[in-house]
Amino acid sequence: MRLSIHHRTAYRFSRPQDRLVQMLRMTPQNTHDQTVASWRIDIDCDAKLREGRDGWGNAVTMLYAEGPLTELEIAISGEVLTSHSNGVLHGMSEPLPPAVFLRSTEVTMPDPAIAVFAASTAGGRETLPALHRINAGLHERFTMDRSRPVAGLTAGDAFAAESATPRDLAHMFVVAARSLNVPARYVSGYSLLAGEHRPTPHGWAEAYLDRLGWVGFDPCSGLSPQEDYVRVAAALDAAGAAPVAGSRLGEGEERLDVDVTVAEA
Amino acid sequence: MGNQAFDEILGAGGGAPSRAELAALCNWIEATPREELRRRQHAAEATFRQLGITFAVYGESEASERIIPFDIVPRVFLHDEWARLSDGLIQRVEAINAFLDDIYGERRILKEGVLPEDLVLGNPQFRPEIAGMRPPHGVWAHICGIDLVRTGPDEFFVLEDNARTPSGVSYMLENREAMLRLCPELFREFRVAAVDSYPDRLLEVMKSVAPHGVSAPTCVVLTPGHYNSAYYEHSFLADSMGIELVEGADLVVDDDMVWMRTIAGRVKVDVIYRRVDDDYLDPLVFRPDSALGVPGLMAAYAAGNVAIMNAPGNGIADDKAIYSYMPEIVRFYSGGEAKLPNVETWRCREPDALKYTLDHLDEVVVKLVDGSGGYGMLVGPTASKAEIETFRAALIAEPHRYIAQPTLALSTVPTLADSGLAPRHVDFRPFVLTGSRGVQVVPGGLTRVALKEGSLVVNSSQGGGTKDSFVLMDNGPQQTQTMGQGQSQTMGGMTQAQGFAPMGPAA
Amino acid sequence: MLSRTASSLYWLGRYFERADFIARLVEATVRLDVLSPRPAGREAWVSALKVTDTEGDFDEVGAELKRSEVARFLTVDSAHPGSIVRCLDMARNNARAVRTALTREAWTAINRAWLIFEEKPAAADPTAVLNLVEAVKNETRGFEGAVHRMLRNQTTWFIRLGQAVERADNTARLLDVKYHILLPAGERIGGVVDRDQWTTILQTVSAVTAYRWLYSDGLKPASVIDLLIARAELPRSLAASVEETVDVLSMLAKRTGQHGEADRMARLRATRMGKTRSGEVIASGLHQFLQSFIQENALLHSAIGRQFKFG
């Protein structure tokens, strides 16, 4: 499949900013089933961009811009060729051993309710079917909330609600998998399913299985990601894999506007 | 326990001085009137107060900054003792550096099963954010403070490794200054290795680890600011090295390079001695709410454009849970047995150790591996029945969170107490420097003393004080005791070559 | 030098100078109000508020406009950013941040001035107020001496730069306000004015003796104005502050090898000041002159911040 992606991130500041330093995790990497045909990051002001890699192995771009800046737009456009993988990740270089992904973070703290749900949904002792059942179970349990996720919402709190955003569903999956001692992580990227003009990129989860390696699970669909997904970054939680980690020098408020469109090219 | 303790100056049990080498010091202690000792001690403390060598006491206003009490009677290491200690310290610090390089790189030590994987990978002190990043020249722990205790003439144990931002070196230097001024006769009597070259040595280390290709590196000290309790030390070190003391807001990262903001414009920074914790270094990578850090610093570090000392991620090397494996870690990287032993430690996650601990709760000290500052600690010999039973239950419920150690009879040194000279328990923190050209031990260190009778707690917040620590350049008093000669030998540069034995590069 | 360090030193200079000025102003006002043969009463305190530009702030406190309240407001009121205690607090904070750049003597003077207020001194009766400001003045004199005994380097220059800019502002305000009060509508310069009031001005800028030395023909408003504006011999005159600013900036420029907009602005101002005759100023409007001086001084302050990247 050939997917075309447009991802626009616009900041507006109520007061001019002296400097901006941002770390962008916005560049997909090539894997066996994902080939980046073209990819560009355009910034609407004079900015220096530097490529690098973070500890998780994600491709990062440092953005340095001098003010005064009242707005900043990051426009991403690219095309990615994908093939069918059954959700199994092949050909990614992993700098960290899977056991690291048993750790929790503030938003993915172990949660008794999720642990009970995981244990009761898992069924048999085979891990892969258990994870699929948890994935499907989460999908059935929640109605989809397509608005922007609430910053800092924990998986445990999200689990108590009736609807959930893709990010929160992925967090719940991660917490559930870890409660079964399965390493799991959050993945950010794009999905054709999500469609046009979404307010955020997509997010799902990956879990590590001894024989298969990292396998994707998307509780939004209840299935594993297929060739209509483009994988960009992974970390312990959504904040760690977020497209932008930023810092600005200057007073005032900021307004963020995001528009994501994924289409078949 | 105070009765059985080894006294480092009087020898075992007191009475006749069994440590003949230090007879001259005993004589000095005897011959100097108590009032004179007390006068000198007060003079030293008055100087410290004027210099502002203070620490802030939590909950009190700025006006009530306190100094750490200073004791006028020095603690002395004989030349041979020190040589053995230095060997052990160098071996340990080389192992710490090798361990850090491995654990954030290949992780051979995990693959070979020397350490339990979850102990490292699940440890909050292991920082996945920096995996794969390697500091310039592969040096991680540039400045280590290794806390030691002593129980006998040749029995030293490592109590704790400090591989993050060990503090206290300003006390080592200021205490020596005070002793030279107030007790010059001691330096005529003994050939004491000088410590005053420490700032020069530190600056040399800083320059030696600058990124490749930088010929005249700009070095800075990064402080959280003047509200930090160790600010005096930060400014003292920057001043004595002649480099800038910067705060996070003074630095900017641009184009993956670090710059400091000066009145004449930006100046590129190559080496940062930071006294800011990992969590606060860079809000883009660690705590996003940190206002102390420098956004983009880790990107500059990852790009190899700046050296940060000590390196980010070092906390895994001095973690309490890792501590008990230090003998194995030293063996793994050095190929030999650790020359400086650990305090015997029972890891309660291991069933045999748990059983032993539960059977001896009234004898041992039990510690939480993730606790600090004496929280979650049981001191068996002084604990009540109820406390012991509480810990028994906790140990059975979560054994992996605890370690146990024997209660040690810490050595004592005569100390000027209200009632006169009396033995008080001490510990010791020597400072070990690692640059791209090897490891060196500064011939001295920080002796902390528990001023309360019988107390084993040397923390400054709980009634601890400090002493000067003499390292002798030979094993006895000087043969020639003319004043001029004694002075020049003490103050001159020749002591430094002896004290800083150049060693091979770190493994 | 780090921009932050330079900024702290500059602000240390400004705040310490301001504390000193307020102390002098309060002292002179107390004398005028109760110690002079013809007490001035409420008006004297109103004018003290006007000089420090804090009438509005005082209104918000809601206290009665009388000696004890205004004196308290200007000296020990820690809720009022323009009080002596707050100025000293700010000065000390800035000094702490650059502590190692200062000599022990300079730090001690700042710290001791600050400690005066730690004991919550009274500011109720005139004697207590005078004791308090006398204590503050003692320490500010000590600081002044300490700064002059420090190495002639950037540290000293940034402190002195802050002091010079602050002093220029303070003297201009003092003259502007007092002049207004002293000159009833329709009155011309040189008319009958209150001798005590003019003495107050001279006291505030420590110029009573200097005046006698420089002007032999008794106390005349035009001469007081001349002294405070145009006589560089008087350290607190506008002319002296303007000169000091140029001198310090050029020493800094020599060190950094860079000239900037603050240098240009300061030199331009000094050239103009050199040609200024107080008689002409009075004839063409003292108030306008002082107002535009204060504005220009504020612009220079901003230019200094930009030139040395205080940020």
Q: What DSSP string runs through A74-134? A: EEEEEEEEE---TTB--S---SS-GGGGG---GGG---HHHHHHHHHHH-SS-HHHHHHHH
- What is the CATH number that goes with domain A2-81+244-264? 2.60.40.2250
Encode pLDDT of A163-189 as tens digits: 999 999 999 999 999 999 999 999 999
Nearest C-alpha in B relative to A244: B284
Could you say which of 3.40.50.11750, 3.10.620.30, 3.30.70.20, 3.40.1160.10 is the CATH number of the domain covering A84-235?
3.10.620.30
Chains contacting B (3+ CB pairs below 8 angstroms) = A, C
The shortest C-alpha distance from B250 to chain A (Å) reads: 12
Backbone φ, ψ for residue B282 (5° rounding): -150, 110
Q: Is A148 on the interface with B (CB under 8 A)?
A: no
> Which helix or strand (DSSP H or E) is residue A19 part of?
strand A2-24
Domain positions in chain B are: 6-211+306-343+408-499, 212-305, 346-406
For chain B, how are helix, strand and coil distributed in percent, rounded to 5? 35, 25, 40
* Nearest-10 crossing angle of helices C126-149, C104-118: 170
Tokens of B230: 């160790």
Q: Is A6 on the interface with B (CB under 8 A)?
A: no
Q: C93: how many CB neighbours lie within 10 A of its CB?
A: 16
pLDDT of residue B270: 98
Encode pLDDT of C190-236 as tens digits: 544 567 778 888 888 888 888 988 898 888 888 889 999 999 999 99
- Statement: residue B379 has pLDDT above 80: yes
Q: How many CB pairs under 8 A join A and B?
A: 80
pLDDT of residue C187: 53
| Residues β-bridged to residue A11 | A72, A256
Average of pLDDT values for B408-437?
92
CB contact under 8 A, B299 and A23: yes
Nearest C-alpha in A relative to B313: A55
B-facing residues of A in 100-129 (CB < 8 A) are 100, 102-103
Distance CA C207, CA C200 (A): 10
pLDDT of residue C112: 87
Encode pLDDT of B14-37 as tens digits: 454 557 778 888 889 888 999 999
The shortest C-alpha distance from B122 to chain A (Å) reads: 6
Nearest to B166 by CA among B104, B94, B233: B233
- Statement: residue A51 has pLDDT above 80: yes
In sequence order, which ranges of B310-440 are alpha helices (DSSP H)? 320-323, 326-334, 351-359, 385-397
> Which helix or strand (DSSP H or E) is residue A65 part of?
strand A59-82
Tokens of B101: 């390089």
Contacts of B107 in chain A (CB under 8 A): 97
Q: Which CATH architecture has domain B346-406?
A: 2-Layer Sandwich (3.30)
pLDDT of residue B60: 41
- Statement: residue B373 has pLDDT above 80: no
pLDDT of residue B481: 40
Average of pLDDT values for A125-149?
92
Instruction: Work out the pLDDT band at A139, boundaries 50, 70, 90.
Output: very high
In sequence order, which ranges of C31-83 are alpha helices (DSSP H)? 42-51, 55-61, 67-75
Q: Are B147 and B160 in contact (CB under 8 A)?
A: yes
Q: Is C309 on the interface with B (CB under 8 A)?
A: yes
Nearest to B367 by CA among B324, B420, B419: B324
pLDDT of residue B61: 47
Q: Is A23 on the interface with B (CB under 8 A)?
A: yes
pLDDT > 90 fraction of chain A, expressed in percent and rounded: 78
- Statement: residue A249 has pLDDT above 80: no
Q: What is the identity of the amino acid at B278? A: D
For residue A206, what is the DSSP state? E
* Nearest-10 crossing angle of helices C154-182, C126-149: 140
Tokens of C124: 């109720």
ipTM, interface predicted TM-score of the complex: 0.93
Q: Is C104 on the interface with B (CB under 8 A)?
A: yes
Q: Which of A19, A66, A245 sits opposite B284 (nearest CB)?
A: A245
Higher pLDDT, C182 or B136: B136
Domain positions in chain A are: 2-81+244-264, 84-235
- What is the CATH number that goes with domain B212-305? 3.40.50.11290
Domain positions in chain C are: 1-150, 152-311
